[in-house]
Amino acid sequence: MAVDVDEAIKDWVGSPPHVYVKLKKTLDDPRSSFKEFSAIIGQDPSLSARLLKVVNSAFYGMEQEVETITHALGIIGTEQLTQLVLATSVTKQFSGIPENLVSMDLFWRHSIACGVTAKIIAEWVGERNLENYYLAGMLHDIGSLIVYKKFSSVAEKVLTRCKDNKECLFDVEREVFGASHAKVGGKLLQGWGLPMSLCEPVFFHHRPNKAKEFPLVTKVIHVADSIVDQLNLGSSGEAIANPVSQEILNELGFEELPVEKFEDQVKDQYYTAMSVFL
């Protein structure tokens, strides 16, 4: 069956996380102020509470307690807070995914672990905008949720085949659907008007050499995804860890997949992130 990706994502494209969209508009307006930002977030009390919980967690390592959104903005900045809003909103956006295909708890565990791992690798290679790496990692498999929801009976067969034959989900999806979860996810984020620094890594996290504008973040997500599969932190439906070429490892400065190198750090930050995001 050939899947029409635009048709598959249209319900979700029409309902992007609305607080994020408002913040993004405010962020793009040079005349906007912290006050406007705080007011937008303040309209959603549960989001405000979640954000303050994240900012005050060991994830950020603040020395003093952050009590207001305005205070949080002053410390971590508008761009980072906007990205945090997206990360915390998106976990609430998807519901009704058949449990026989994927446990939502395990799915977000895998996503959060990938975000944390991407952030750790990015810091190790000397990158600065770590939040973008975290967010790209967290969103990398979002297309799977649409595939599972829209095409559940075929998706079940695909997952069973991957498990039985130890095949890569990405390859089997392309064969069966004519498109992969990576393409569906990338298109969704594009439809939401997210920056290419997030869309491209999602599009190409299984084929990082195809990334043109943001090759580094795409390669980091690709490697992080494989490390998380090896460490068995959550699951988005993959039966096997994705293979990573020696060439990509070399480009990032690794001789082998750095599972042991980062294991303690990943698990430490993962459990912290889990307590604040889920």
> Looking at the domain assignment, is residue 203 inside a domain?
yes
Two structure tokens written together for 88: 């915390």
Q: Which residue has the higher pLDDT, 136 or 17?
A: 136
Q: Which residue has the higher pLDDT, 212 or 64?
A: 212
Q: Which residues span the domain enclosing 158?
A: 5-15+96-277
Q: What are phi and psi of 266, to 5 degrees?
A: -60, -50
| Residue listed under structure tokens 């990205």 | 83
Count of domains forming the chain: 1
User: Please, which pLDDT band fits residue 142 given cuts at 50, 70 and 90?
Assistant: very high
- Helix, strand, coil shares of the chain, percent, nearest 5, are 70, 0, 30
Name residues whose C-beta falls within 8 Å of residue 58's C-beta, 6 or more positions apart in sequence.
Answer: 272
> Looking at the domain assignment, is residue 238 inside a domain?
yes
pLDDT of residue 208: 97
Residue 102 has pLDDT above 80, yes or no: yes
> Looking at the domain assignment, is residue 33 inside a domain?
no
> Looking at the domain assignment, is residue 225 inside a domain?
yes
Residue 140 has pLDDT above 90, yes or no: yes
DSSP 27-68: HH-TT--HHHHHHHHHT-HHHHHHHHHHHTSTTTT-SS---S
Task: Round to whole Å and give the CA distance between 269 and 260.
Answer: 15
Q: 144-185: per-residue pLDDT in tens? A: 999 999 999 999 999 999 999 999 999 999 999 999 999 999
> Looking at the domain assignment, is residue 58 inside a domain?
no
- The overall average pLDDT reported for the chain is 90
pLDDT of residue 278: 64
Tell me the one-letter amino acid at 67: E
Residue 277 has pLDDT above 80, yes or no: no
pLDDT of residue 28: 84
User: Please, which pLDDT band fits residue 86 given cuts at 50, 70 and 90?
Assistant: confident
- What's the CATH number where 165 sits? 1.10.3210.10
